[in-house]
Amino acid sequence: MAKIVKVPDWIVRVGILPSDISIAIAPYIFLNSSLYQDYITGQPNWFTQSMIEHETAHIERQQQFGVILWLWRYITSNSFCFQEEIIALKREMDVYRQNKNNLVPTRKRDCFQSFGYTMAVYRTLTPNACWMVFGIKNNDKIPPLNTAVFYMPFWYTTNTMSGMEMSTPMSPEKFMFQVSIATPNDWQECKRVRELAITGDDASMFNATPESVAFEQAKTEEEWKTDLSSNERFYVLSRSGGEAIGMGRATEIKSLGEGTWGIFNGYVRPEFRGNHVAQEMFVTRLREIQNRGGKFVVTYIHEDNEKQMNLIKKFGFEKYGENPAEADQFVRFGLDLSRPIDFSSIE
């Protein structure tokens, strides 16, 4: 859980941060003076609650990526910065909507008119995106920054207020999605994605048989919720625009030794592939296994799935042991978690 503190006065005095800025560096949320004074009353208003939710979203993402890597990418990558702020702003807006607060349009407008947001957007625009936002054709000269500052808030606020999902990407090259640990409340989404995986064109990759498909389809709400609350397994769920687009599972395998986990059943819907969703789901599971004290990870990859094999080798996985007889079309890989994993090598 995040620890909420006040932005130190000296940081504001020396000009490192403006007096109205709040930031998150896991596990701390640093609130500006006015928000913090409202927070310590014990009954913070909706705006304070929404800003805490905004910064909490950043902390959750920092924990997924690793704090240092997240901060580095946030500072050096405009597209990453903008994506992370969209994710956090969507969480912030949810607080306003839950309280039926009419400040939502105002907050969106103020947010997207800020220099930092607009600068990040402007520097990631492709020529096609420039045409879409500014009405400028590919061969035309891209407008100077002050033109972007003027038009971007108008375009984005108009679209978001008319119902466009906050996580909609600015262009096909900037696909936005989130990966999180699934909870019992996510059981229907997990069931739906799992059934797509074992009945679609990729069924062979999951060693699906008529019997295993029938078993999965008969799985009840109670059984799914039990699975999703187990200490011996967990699921990750990827979403884009509030829609479930992929899922993966990790299970402790005590028969292979204390602290050994398996990563299984990673699946991304075909129309969303090529956007690093599978990679991010794999990273999230590895980190969660580390958080749970895991010492060793195994995974099984279908012999025809060369792309997945290349991905896991980037993490340091190597061929490990012999496969069970029922998995003769799969190759088993293992990774010793006592050695540091260079996550930056696969970013």
Q: 172-183, pLDDT tens digit by residue?
A: 345 788 899 999
User: Is the model's pLDDT at 115 over the cut of 50?
Assistant: no
Whether the per-residue pLDDT at 258 is higher than 50: the answer is: yes
Percent of the chain at pLDDT > 70 equals: 73
Does 136 have pLDDT greater than 80? no
Mean pLDDT of the chain: 75
Q: Report the alpha-carbon distance of residue 161 to residue 108 in Å, rounded.
A: 8
> Which residues, 6+ apart, have CB-to-CB distance to 100 below 8 Å?
none
C-alpha span between 107 and 50 (Å, rounded): 11
Phi-psi region at 66: left, alpha or beta (left = phi > 0; alpha = psi -120 to 50): left
Most confident of the following: 4-13, 19-28, 245-254: 245-254
- pLDDT number for residue 146: 35
Sign of CA dihedral 40, 44, 47, 53: positive
Q: Beginning with the edge strand found earlier in the chain, give each strand of the sheet holding 318-319 in spatial order.
A: 178-181, 233-240, 243-252, 260-268, 296-302, 330-336, 318-319
Residue type present at position 131: W
Does this model's pTM top 0.85? My answer is: no
> How far apart, in Å, are the Cα atoms of 6 and each of 17, 33, 38, 250?
13, 6, 11, 38
Nearest to 109 by CA among 101, 100, 120, 117: 117
Confidence of residue 297 (pLDDT cuts 50, 70, 90): very high
Position with higher pLDDT, 122 vs 89: 89
Domains of the chain by start residue, with CATH: 1-76 (no CATH), 178-346 (3.40.630.30)
Question: Could you please report the per-residue DSSP string of 166-206?
Answer: TT--SSTTS---EEEE--GGGHHHHHHHHHHHHHSTTGGGG
| Per-residue pLDDT at 42 | 85
* 226/152: higher pLDDT: 226
Q: What is the model's pLDDT at position 235?
A: 95
Q: Token digits for 103?
A: 């400040």
Highest mean pLDDT: which of 97-111, 197-211, 238-252, 331-345?
Answer: 238-252
Give the model confidence (pLDDT) of 242-257 as tens digits: 788 999 999 999 988 8
Of the pLDDT bands very low, low, confident and very high (cuts 50, 70, 90), residue 125 is very low
Question: DSSP letter at 43?
Answer: S
Model confidence at 263, pLDDT cuts 50, 70, 90, reads very high
Residue 47, pLDDT > 50, answer yes
